[in-house]
Amino acid sequence: MNFQNLVDYCQWKQIDVFEGCTVPEPFDIEKVKNEIMKRCGLLRPVYAEPEVFKGLTKMWFDSNQWNFEHLSKIVLANYSPIENVYESDHYQTRHTGTDKRALGGSDVDTLSGKDTVTDGSQTAHDVSAFNSSTYQPSSVDKNSGDIDTKYGKKDTLEYGKTDDFTHGHIETYDRLRHGNIGVTTNDQLITEELTLLEKFNPYDWIAAKFERENFLQIY
């Protein structure tokens, strides 16, 4: 049988050349098949036998899973079309080791000497004469002595303590910076986003790659 193109391959014994082929989320394998058929249905496969082409198609999808997964990350990327800078920093400061403080020696507090208090006061005793309301001095008591307080106390404070402080903690800092740095206006960013959406279709990208690697580029 003369197989001219991919449609012929699929019609031969109702063969499903994409049997067992998978793509990661968020892509749909049925949409991938439809896009390939739309793009390559009338092209001649590199491999002449339908069964061989079917097996190699499965191998092609398996070997390109990494590309599909990377493509899915691009499609699912969470970003703002009016921002052109996004920076995320993560810092960690690790504290380790031990600090020691040893207290040694002694402090001596010695109290010596004396305090002297001199009392030079006097006390007068007055009496009144008979039938008189006037008091007259009778006698005087005089104090003329020193009172001494002597000190001879010694206080001793001895040190023999060691303080340990062990470090073993981690300090973490996170910083996020995003926005428009000002070199491009929001209108320009939106226009570029719309241009990208118009030009890029992930299903078309997969189909184009499949075409380049599995079909003769002769029309």
Tell me which residue of 81, 79, 70 sits closest to 27, measured CA to CA: 70
How far, CA to CA in Å, does 210 sit from each of 15, 104, 168?
18, 82, 55
Verify cis geometry, omega within 30 degrees of 0, for the bond prior to 26: yes
73-109 tens-digit pLDDT: 988 888 787 777 767 777 677 777 676 766 666 666 6
The answer to whether 207 and 36 have CB atoms below 8 angstroms apart is yes
Same domain, yes or no, for 161 and 183? Answer: no
> Does any domain span residue 95?
no
Same domain, yes or no, for 184 and 79? Answer: yes
* Across 23-32, 39-48, 115-124, 182-191, least confident range: 115-124
pLDDT at residue 143 tops 60: no
> Does any domain span residue 135?
yes
Same domain, yes or no, for 202 and 137? Answer: no
Same domain, yes or no, for 129 and 25? Answer: no
Same domain, yes or no, for 110 and 58? Answer: no
**Which tokens belong to 45?**
């496969």
Domain that holds residue 187: 6-89+176-214
The Cα angle at residue 96 between residues 92 and 101, in degrees rounded to 5: 140
Cα distance between residue 62 and residue 204, in whole Å: 18
pLDDT of residue 182: 72
* Sign of the C-alpha dihedral computed for residues 41, 44, 45 and 49 taken in this order: positive
Same domain, yes or no, for 13 and 80? Answer: yes
Cα distance between residue 183 and residue 189, in whole Å: 10
Mean predicted confidence (pLDDT) in 2-15: 66
> Does any domain span residue 116?
yes
The answer to whether 37 and 31 have CB atoms below 8 angstroms apart is no
pTM of the model: 0.54
Same domain, yes or no, for 17 and 82? Answer: yes
> Does any domain span residue 96?
no
* Sign of the C-alpha dihedral computed for residues 19, 24, 27 and 28 taken in this order: positive
The answer to whether 188 and 21 have CB atoms below 8 angstroms apart is no
pLDDT at residue 180 tops 70: yes
Tell me which residue of 71, 86, 84 sits closest to 200, measured CA to CA: 71
User: What is the number of structural domains in the chain?
Assistant: 2
